Amino acid sequence: MELIEQTKYEKLFSTPLFRFRVADAAALNAALLGEEKRLRAESEGVEKSNHGGWHSAGNLFADTTPCIQRLKAAAENAVLEATARINTKVDPKIYKLKMFAWMNTNPPGGMNAPHTHPGAHWSGVYYVSQPEVETGKSGKIEFLNPRTDLPNWRLLKAPAFSAKKSLRPEPGELILFPSYLVHWVYPNQTDENRVTVAFNATFRA
């Protein structure tokens, strides 16, 4: 005789993370790397979470260069698809969408310190170039669990309650996550540059 009967199982307060593959990424990335060289020649960039790397100034998505506008369209598509996925009862297209992007270049030793993106709904990163590594954490982006009172859950080793999650996306991959999620990028331990385009997406009524 069964002692109990499960009637429902829910996942409360989950944090969504989406991964997308951008079509024809090789050609897009080649064009974006050309723009990276042009932009770095024109500007020393700005200092944000980057340490030892270059962060472009202004809104990259305001640039009318075809490859940048193509990436903007892909990023917008990802944002709309993800938003519709988390709530099927609301069409995100009824809102105004503001996109703000910048390019990051992490040379050998370059990294991004832990940070969030206040004021936005979604944040994303598109990987233009990602040097290959066999071992170690170089090239990884790491997310920290926003729930801090979880040390006792380590005993049970449940993935949903782990303290952090790290990924090493490949070139042509776009990741999307809520902007409140603390994240950082491990130092580049290769001899090549790692180039990404990061962006924020904010809905307005």
Q: What would the mean pLDDT of 124-143 be, rounded to a whole number?
A: 96
Q: Looking at the domain assignment, is residue 160 inside a domain?
A: yes
Q: What would the mean pLDDT of 162-181 be, rounded to a whole number?
A: 96
Q: Which of 105, 100, 97, 98 is nearest to 127 (CA)?
A: 105
* pLDDT at residue 34 in the model: 98
- 91 class by beta-carbon count within 10 Å (0-12 exposed, 13-18 middle, 19+ buried): exposed
Q: Looking at the domain assignment, is residue 121 inside a domain?
A: yes
What residues have CB less than 8 Å from 132, skipping those under 6 apart? 190
Print the domain residue range for 25: 18-204
Q: What would the mean pLDDT of 159-167 be, rounded to a whole number?
A: 92
| Cα gap 72→166, rounded to integer Å | 25
Q: Looking at the domain assignment, is residue 12 inside a domain?
A: no
Domain total for the chain?
1
* pLDDT at residue 151 in the model: 86
* pLDDT at residue 15 in the model: 94
Q: What are phi and psi of 186, to 5 degrees?
A: -65, 150
Q: Looking at the domain assignment, is residue 10 inside a domain?
A: no
- pLDDT tens readout for residues 1-38: 789 999 999 989 989 999 999 999 999 999 999 999 99
Q: What would the mean pLDDT of 38-52 be, rounded to a whole number?
A: 96
* pLDDT at residue 2 in the model: 84
Q: Looking at the domain assignment, is residue 154 inside a domain?
A: yes
* pLDDT at residue 179 in the model: 98
The reported pTM is 0.95
Structure tokens given for 180: 């409140």
* pLDDT at residue 159 in the model: 87
Q: Looking at the domain assignment, is residue 39 inside a domain?
A: yes
Q: Looking at the domain assignment, is residue 84 inside a domain?
A: yes
| Domain containing residue 173: CATH number | 2.60.120.620
With a pLDDT cut of 90, the percent of the chain lying above it is: 89
| Cα gap 110→53, rounded to integer Å | 5
- Which DSSP state fits 130? -
- pLDDT tens readout for residues 81-117: 999 999 999 999 999 999 999 999 999 999 999 999 9
Q: What would the mean pLDDT of 167-189 be, rounded to a whole number?
A: 98
* pLDDT at residue 154 in the model: 86
142 within 8 A of 196, measured Cβ to Cβ: no
| Cα gap 49→170, rounded to integer Å | 22
Q: Looking at the domain assignment, is residue 112 inside a domain?
A: yes
| Cα gap 85→82, rounded to integer Å | 5
